[in-house]
Amino acid sequence: MQALTAWRRIACVFLPFAAGYYLSYVFRTINALIGGQLSSDIGLETADLGLLTSVYFLVFAAVQIPIGISLDRFGPRRIQSVLLLVAAAGAALFAVATGFLSLLIARAMLGLGVAAALMAGLKSIVLWFPKERVALLNGYMIMLGSLGAVTATAPAEYLLRWMNWRQLFEILAFATGATAILIYVVVPERIMGRSTIRNTLSSVLGDPRFWRIAPLSAACIGSAWSLQGLWASPWLTDVERFDHPRLVGQLFTMSIVLCGGAWSFGTLVHCIRQRRAGVEIIVAAIAGLFIAAQLSLILRLPLPSILPWSVIAIAGTATVVSFAAIAEYFPPELTGRANGALNVLHFGWAFVSQCGTGLILQQWPVVDGHRTVFAYQAAFGLNLVVQIAAFVWFALPWLGSFGRRMGSNPLRLPASVSDAVETFMPCEQLLVVMPANTDSEW
């Protein structure tokens, strides 16, 4: 009976919300594939394409706190189904848009419509599944959602051989509307208690531990979304000089790596929590690898291109680790608000990074159909400086404790003590004969 209940929960709760998150990932990353067609069909400049793609993140970030309150009050079933209908309307408008403004409005509607996709899925897991399985299921949720990034590469490219991007968005609009109906009809209702959001949210935002990890998580994860969602494709085309089939192949590989990273992080956090160990060290390790990968691109180190870009793709799934770290700081009734506040920073920085990169690239001219390597180095390098500053801020308590331990090291004696010959005693004279005592504890 327990096994039957578990499978019913997976079929009626987990999978419908995973489908919604899958669609959100398709919409997030599809512009990396169709960006060239949008630019040629609509006449978009580089900065226009950056703003068009990044407005998704701006709207997404702006509504995270209100959505968190609504999820607590009305439940994930109602909120997710209503918002996905908004996303379906946005996809339909995108399919028929003929100018930059209508595309921008449609993209903003998509950002609003899928803004609850991840948080609703995580909330449903907390409501319907055992606490000890939450971290593992969070990883599975993000892994299945990441398949949307896979779909937005080679499979979508195959479909575009038979149709144009407008027809593709018509299909996505239908699939999104169907998913909204599925969630509303299939997912069972769960009675929600009233939220004390004013007190609890202030408790999250007033906690210094949140502001220690949040800048690093936002700078790295938001940048990873920005790069994979749009700027990986121009880099590979302009700097690496990939042709279109090779470009699609590398984007497909990055998406597969993305899915594997989500599953690996979820499993790793699950194992670490079972051993009652902290996950902050994983956050630091991921950030260090992510920074090193971007540095190798900027310095043009002689590495296969897929290696640093795979690390960048994996970093985009580190939300599993960040949410797990946040969960260690706050009680269960606060983790939803804390995750929502952290998500605001994730998507806020993704917008700043994606839009800012387009503005910086626009300052350099196009030579023979390609932008110069220095333009990308300048744009990516400025983003990297922010990540390094956030990493130093995150590591300051560790560096301080390490310095204090080194300062109190007993081996570092003053010269007057170590050179004092008159205090030297042979080891034989230091021996003390202890009286026999059978009750002594050694």
* Mean pLDDT (whole number) for 316-338: 79
Quote the CA–CA distance of 244 and 240 in Å, as a whole number. 12
293 Cβ contact list (under 8 Å, min separation 6): 307, 308, 309, 311, 312, 315
- The top-scoring range by mean pLDDT among 96-100, 334-338, 435-439 is 96-100
Mean pLDDT of the chain: 83
Question: How is residue 292 written in tokens?
Answer: 């090193």
Task: Say if residue 412's pLDDT is above 90.
Answer: no
Question: How is residue 72 written in tokens?
Answer: 């607590």
End-to-end CA distance of the chain: 55
Query: What does the pLDDT read at residue 1?
Result: 39
Query: What does the pLDDT read at residue 424?
Result: 41
* Mean pLDDT (whole number) for 375-391: 95
Using a pLDDT cut of 90, give the percent of the chain over it.
41
Question: Which residues in 302-338 are b (16+ Cβ under 10 Å) and which e?
Answer: eeebeebbbbbbbbbbbbbbbbbbbbebbeeebbbbb
Task: Say if residue 192's pLDDT is above 60.
Answer: no
pLDDT 10s digits, 276-324:
667 788 899 999 999 999 999 999 999 999 999 999 999 988 888 888 7
Prediction pTM value: 0.74
Task: Say if residue 208's pLDDT is above 70.
Answer: yes
318 Cβ contact list (under 8 Å, min separation 6): 217, 220, 221, 224, 261, 265, 283, 286
pLDDT 10s digits, 111-148:
999 999 988 988 888 888 887 777 788 888 988 988 99
β-strands 370-371, 366-367 pairing: antiparallel
Query: What does the pLDDT read at residue 29?
Result: 87
- Mark residue 368 as left, alpha or beta (left: phi above 0; alpha: psi -120 to 50; beta: remaining): left
Residue 191 or 23, more confident:
23
* Mean pLDDT (whole number) for 2-15: 79
* Mean pLDDT (whole number) for 265-282: 76
pLDDT 10s digits, 337-364:
788 889 899 988 998 998 899 999 989 9
What single-letter DSSP state applies at residue 304?
-
pLDDT 10s digits, 39-64:
888 888 888 888 888 899 899 889 98
Which strand (E) or helix (H) includes residue 383? helix 373-407
Task: Say if residue 367's pLDDT is above 50.
Answer: yes
